[in-house]
Structure 1
Amino acid sequence: MEEKFTNSYSENIEVPFQLFGEWLALAEKNEPNDPNAMSVATVDDDGMPNVRMLLLKGYSPQGFVFYTNFESTKGQEILNHPKVALCFHWKSLRRQVRVRGNIIRVTEDQADEYYTSRPRKSRIGAWASKQSRPLESRFALEKEVARYAAKYAIGDIPRPDYWSGCVLQPTEIEFWHDRAFRLHDRFVFKRESPTDDWGKVRLYP
């Protein structure tokens, strides 16, 4: 595994999304829980960072996709400061991928398509939860869930206007692979903008 990483990465992988796909596929076979989990870092109006765990919902050469409530703290920070960082860490593989770039929103059709694919109770939850705002009690949340479940008891559940998806268009992707004595392998791919070609460089560990 390690030898394949070293050779294929340094010699043949020119576009980092191909390598990311290989690593994610390995994680899907080895990680016991949520191989698509990632930390998402944003910044508030005072320049203070925030980080939390989310699930990656798709990726392509256009970027990394996740979904959120844009009225939440996370959503507001993204709208006000759309420079975001991601970090994937697969402990069982001893590998990590860090990503930085700018956020754009998915199309309305893409948001609708993903929203309708979610479990019905998750769609109800998107309406019931005023994400990140004060909650007086668990009962108050359950009451809201029951209210929207009754409201949308029959038929489709529409997607809230404030609930949509983000595409992080990366300008930097770093791959880290654990090696003995902390002499790790690190490669970083960089480009000035999402339309530029990638450059790559090996880093000291």
Structure 2
Amino acid sequence: MNEVLRTDYDGHGLEDGVMPPAPWPFVEEWVTEARDAARERADVPEPDALSVATADASGRPRVRTVLLRHLGPDGFGFFTNLSSRKGRDLAENAAVAASLTWPAMFRAIRVFGRAEQLPRETVEAYFRSRPWGSRISAWTSAQSQPVEDRAALEQAYAAYAEKWSDHGSPDDVPVPDFWGGYLIHCDEVELWGGRRSRLHDRFRYVRVGDGDLADPTSWELSRLQP
């Protein structure tokens, strides 16, 4: 057996009695602090990396990492090719789980809920805000489909780049019909804080009402054993 690398988590954790009645204040604070840390520390390289787990109609799960591109009391949002594996899964089964994990900060936010497609105007506005190369890549990649080799991918990119050259306008590249986004409506939110000797702190918010992540009447809070 290979030698196991062990790290004793020395985080600040979470304290009883200070947890708000709804998850939003801590969610907003932790994401903001992770983004601030990424500007100053090399060990928090991509604070918006969101691991998203889906399952198809038969219940077979898959997980991948996307970028968190919307965050508000209404939920967690990301954008993708709707024909990708995740898009096909969500068309069959809207249940979704996701996690933001910052190992160097000994923190994680885990959510479970259902995914709903974002409005087309939201998708188009975000697509036009992306760098030109990322917009070209959206057309280039038939996401999750096989490709012969790297050269074929780069040839397709070059063809689209020639078709829609960069003039510095957000409208240089049209928005693909197959490109969209999802909002995760959360039914559970868990905050995890790493502690020494594996006695981590876990607080779970479970939905009991119809309000958003900031509505204190819509959530029930409990501490979980690590």
**Normalising to structure 1: TM-score of the pair?**
0.92
Contact 2:208 2:220 survives alignment (8 Å): no
8 Å CA contact 1:169, 1:194 repeated in 2: no
CA contact (8 A) 1:189 1:200 kept: yes
RMSD: 1.7
Q: Which residue of 2 aligns with 1:42?
A: 54
**For residue 135 of structure 1, what is the amino acid of its counterpart?**
V
Contact 2:124 2:175 in 1 (8 A): yes
Paired position in structure 2 for 1:201:
222
Tell me which of 161, 178, 181 is aligned to 1:149.
161
| Aligned residue in 1 for 2:33 | 26
Q: What displacement does 1:194 show?
A: 4.5
Alignment correspondent of 1:2 = 12
Does residue 183 (structure 1) correspond to residue 199 (structure 2)? The answer is: yes
Corresponding residue of 1:65? 77
Describe the superposition over 1:65-123 as per-residue Cα deviations: whole angstroms up to 9, x where unpaired.
10010111111111111110001111111111110001111111110110001010110
Uncovered stretches (5+) of structure 1, i.e. residues with no partner: none
Please say if 1:97 is aligned against 2:102. no
2:209/2:219 contact within 8 Å kept? no
- Runs (4+) of structure 1 exceeding 3 A deviation are 192-196
Structure of greater relative contact order (alpha carbons < 8 Å, 6+ residues apart): 2
Deviation, structure 1 residue 156:
2.3
1:2 partner amino acid? H
Alignment of 1:82 with 2:89, yes or no, is no
TM-score (norm 2): 0.84
- The answer to whether the Cα contact below 8 Å between 2:12 and 2:194 also exists between their aligned partners in 1 is no
- Structure 2 gap segments, 5+ residues each: 1-10, 39-43, 212-216
The 8 Å contact of residues 103 and 167 in structure 1, kept in 2 or not, is answered as: yes
The AA in structure 2 aligned to 1:11 is V
Aligned-residue sequence identity (percent) comes to 38
Q: What is the deviation of 1:192?
A: 4.5
Distance (Å, rounded) in 1 between the aligned partners of 2:156 and 2:19: 53
Counterpart amino acid of residue 204 in structure 1: Q
1:160-193 deviation per Cα after TM superposition (whole angstroms, max 9, x unaligned):
0110110000000011111122111110001146
SS across alignment from 1:115: helix
Higher-helix-fraction structure: 1
Q: Which amino acid is 2:221 matched to?
A: K
Give distance in 2, aligned partners of 1:194 and 1:106: 19
1:164 corresponds to 2:180: yes
